[in-house]
Amino acid sequence: MLDFMLFLHQDLGTGPIRSPEEMMAVTKEYMAWADRMRAEGRLKGGERLANDPGKVLRPKGGRIAVTDGPYAETKELIGGYFAISATDYDEACRIAESCPHLKYGGRIEVRQFHTM
Amino acid sequence: MSEHGGTDLLVEGLFRREAGRLAARLTRLFGPARLPLVEDVLQETFAAALARWPIDGAPERPAAWLAAVARNKALDRLRREVREQPFDEALFDAMPITEEPKADLDDTLALMFVACHPALGEDAQAMLTLKTVCGFGVNDIARAYLTSSDAVAQRLVRAKADIRKLGLTFEIPEGGELAQRLPALLQAVYLLFTGGYTAGEGEDLIVAEFCVEALRLAELITRHPATATGEAHALAALLSFQHARASARIGNSGELLRLAEQDRSLWDRELIARGFAHLQEAMTARELSVYHVEAGAAAVHASAKDFDSTDWQQLAQYYAMLEELKPTAVVRLNAAVATAYAEGPQIALLKLDRLSGDRRMDDYALFHATRGDLLFKLGRHEAAHAAFGKALECPLSDPERAFIATRAKSCRRVS
C-alpha cells in the first residue's frame, strides 16, 4: 500500500450561501465518505484549513518578503487535505472521485507520498 | 467527545432547528438591528461543523457544540469591532451553552415579535419568521410563495433594514402593546401553515415541513403565560386538527384525497386530542376569533367517525359565522359546500351561483369544480362537464388537474 495526499482545492471566497438544511446534508455526505475511508482502513489523516488566503513568503533581494496569499496568479486556495492509502495512482484517483468535494465545485489534486 | 461519532448522531433537521434557537439567543445579545450579523455568525458556525465533523466525527452533543462555536464566533466578531462599539464581555455569560427551555421559549417568542412586527407587512412577517425563527433557506421560502429566490432575498433585506430603522427591541411586549401585536404573530403562524399545506402537496418535503413548524410555534405561543390567549389556543386547535389529517390526504400514487375518500384510521388521534384540549382552553376567551370558528369547523370533521356521519348542520352554521367574519373566496366556497350536505345540492348551487358575480371566482378552479360536482349530483351532466372544463382553464397543480380531468370525463360516460 502506498500513501497519497488529496489536496482539496476550492475557489477563493465563501461560496454559495446554503440554508442550514443544505449545510447539514453536505456535512453528512463528507462524514459518510470519511467514515467509509476509516472503515476500509485507508484514512491516514486529514485537516481543514481556515477559509482565508493565508500568507506567502519568498526571498527577495536578500531578505524575506511576506505577502498576502495565495500566489498572485491564482484564484483558488487549498481548503484542506485527506491522506489516504491506495495500491497505485489509479486506485487513489478512483477514491478521490468518490469524495463529495468534487460534487460541490471543488477540485482535488492527488499526490503520492515519497517512498524510500 | 466520542471517537469518530457517526452521522446517526445527527437527527433529521438538527441544523435547521438549532439555527432558529441560536438566532434567537444571538439576537438577544446583538439586538434586532443586527440580524444580518447574526446570520453571518450562524453561517460560520455551520461551516465550522462542515470543516470539523468529517475529520473528528460528530460531537456527542451536536447542539451544544454548535452553541459553543456560535458563541465564540460571536465573541470574535465583537472583539474585532471593539473600537467601533464597546461591549460587555460578561454579557456572554448570559448565553447558555447547555439547553435551557425557559430561556429558549422567551428568546424564541421575542424573536417572533421582532419578525412579526406590524410595520413589516404580512408577507415579510411570514418570510422572516420562516428564515430566522425556523431556519429555512431562501429557496424553500421562494417555492412556498411561488416566487423567485431573489425576490425573497430582497424582501428579507428590506425587512431587516426596516427593523434597524424602527429600532425594534428584543422583548415580549406587555399590556396593551401585547394585545395589539399578538394578532400579527398568530397571523404569520397561520400563513406559514397554509403556505406549507398548499405548496406541500407535491413531493416538496421541506416545504411540507412548514406545517410542522407552524404547529410547533403555535404550541410554543400557548406555552408562554403572556401569549397563551384564547385566540392563540384556538389557532393551535385549528392547526392540530388540520395537521392530524396530513398523512391521509395523499393517496398511494400521490393523488389528493378528499375528506370523503380519506382513510380515517390514518388520522393522528393524539393530535386530534391535543386539538380538543386547545379548543377547551380557547373557550375561556372573551371574544370569538376567526380561529375559533375555523377550529370549530375542523373539530366537526375530526369528531365524525366517517364521512356520512358528519354533522353538516353544525358545519353549515360555522361557515355562516365565518362568512361574516372573513368573507374570502375560499370561505364562501366552503360555506356553499357545507350547505350542499346540510340542505342538498339544489340550495348549494343557488348559493354558489350567487357568488359567480364575484370576480375572484372567475379563475378559481375549486369554484368551477364544486359547481361541476353539484350539477353532476343533480343529474345535469352536460352543464357539469362545462363547469369542469372551466376549472381546467384555471391555474392548477398537477394532482388537482388530473383529479378534475377525471371528473370531467365521468360526465361524458354517464350521459
Question: Hey, are the CB atoms on A19 and B16 less than 8 Å from each other?
Answer: yes
DSSP B308: G
- List alpha helices for B257-397, DSSP H: 269-282, 290-303, 312-325, 329-343, 345-355, 365-377, 381-392
Per-residue confidence band for B1, with pLDDT thresholds at 50, 70 and 90:
very low
Q: Is B13 exposed, middle or buried (0-12, 13-18, 19+ CB in 10 A)?
A: middle
Q: How far is A28 from chain B (nearest CA, A)?
A: 6
CATH number at residue A108: 3.30.70.1060
Q: Which of B9, B44, B46 to mutate: most A Cβ within 10 Å?
A: B46
Q: Which of B52, B138, B140 sits opposite A48 (nearest CB)?
A: B52
Question: Hey, are the CB atoms on B139 and A80 less than 8 Å from each other?
Answer: no
C-alpha cell at A66: 511576506
pLDDT of B96 strictly over 80 = no
pLDDT of A18 strictly over 50 = yes
Mean pLDDT of chain B: 85
Give the residue with greater pLDDT, B25 vs B103. Answer: B25
pLDDT of B14 strictly over 80 = yes
Question: Hey, are the CB atoms on B18 and A26 less than 8 Å from each other?
Answer: no
Question: Hey, are the CB atoms on A27 and B50 less than 8 Å from each other?
Answer: yes
Domain assignment of residue A97, given as a range: 2-112
Residue with the three cell numbers 395589539: B180
**Which pLDDT value is given to residue A93?**
96
What confidence tens digit (pLDDT) does each residue in B345-371 have? 888 888 888 887 777 777 788 889 989
Q: Which of A21, A32, A35 sits opposite B137 (nearest CB)?
A: A21
Instruction: Verify cis geometry, omega within 30 degrees of 0, for the bond prior to A70.
Output: yes
Residues 15-54 of B with CB under 8 A from A: 15-16, 18-19, 42-43, 46-47, 49-54
The percentage of chain B sitting over the pLDDT mark of 90, rounded to a whole number, equals 44
Per-residue confidence band for B200, with pLDDT thresholds at 50, 70 and 90:
very low
C-alpha cell at A67: 505577502
- Phi and psi of B11, rounded to 5°? -70, 155
Give the residue with greater pLDDT, B366 vs B47. Answer: B47
Give the ipTM. 0.89
Q: Which of B19, B53, B55 sits opposite A20 (nearest CB)?
A: B19
Taking Cα atoms as reference points, which of B79, B80, B97 lies closest to residue B88? B79
pLDDT of B6 strictly over 70 = no
Q: Which of B13, B53, B138 sits opposite A27 (nearest CB)?
A: B53
The percentage of chain A sitting over the pLDDT mark of 90, rounded to a whole number, equals 57
What confidence tens digit (pLDDT) does each residue in B261-287 have? 888 888 999 999 999 999 999 998 878
**Which pLDDT value is given to residue B101?**
61
Mean pLDDT of chain A: 89
* Residues 6+ away with beta carbon under 8 Å from B144: B130, B195, B196, B199, B207, B210
Residues B324-347 as b/e (b if ≥16 CB within 10 A, e otherwise) read eeeeeeebbbbbbbbbbbbeebee
Q: Which residues in B lie closer than 8 A to residue A18 (C-beta atoms)?
A: 46, 137
Question: Hey, are the CB atoms on B54 and A33 less than 8 Å from each other?
Answer: yes
Per-residue confidence band for B2, with pLDDT thresholds at 50, 70 and 90:
very low
Can you tell me the distance from the alpha carbon of A114 to that of A4, in angstroms, rounded to the nearest whole number? 9
Number of domains in chain A: 1
The letter for the amino acid at B371 is R
B157 touches chain A (CB under 8 A): no
pLDDT of B68 strictly over 50 = yes
Interface of A with B (CB under 8 A): 14, 17-24, 26-28, 30-35, 38, 46-48, 51, 80
Q: How far is A59 from chain B (nearest CA, A)?
A: 32
**Which pLDDT value is given to residue B147?**
80
Q: Which of B7, B54, B137 sits opposite A22 (nearest CB)?
A: B137
Q: Which residues in B lie closer than 8 A to residue A23 (C-beta atoms)?
A: 15, 46-47, 49-50
What confidence tens digit (pLDDT) does each residue in A41-71 have? 999 999 988 878 888 898 988 899 888 877 7
Q: How far is B206 from chain A (nearest CA, A)?
A: 9
Q: Which residues in B lie closer than 8 A to residue A37 (C-beta atoms)?
A: none
The letter for the amino acid at B202 is G
What confidence tens digit (pLDDT) does each residue in B136-187 have? 999 888 877 778 899 999 999 999 999 999 999 999 999 899 999 999 999 9
* Number of helices and strands in chain B (H, E): 18, 0
What confidence tens digit (pLDDT) does each residue in B303-337 have? 988 888 889 889 889 998 988 888 877 788 888 88
Residue with the three cell numbers 370525463: B409
Other CB atoms within 10 Å distance of the CB of residue B140: 26
Per-residue confidence band for B249, with pLDDT thresholds at 50, 70 and 90:
confident
Q: Which of A23, A33, A38 sits opposite B15 (nearest CB)?
A: A23
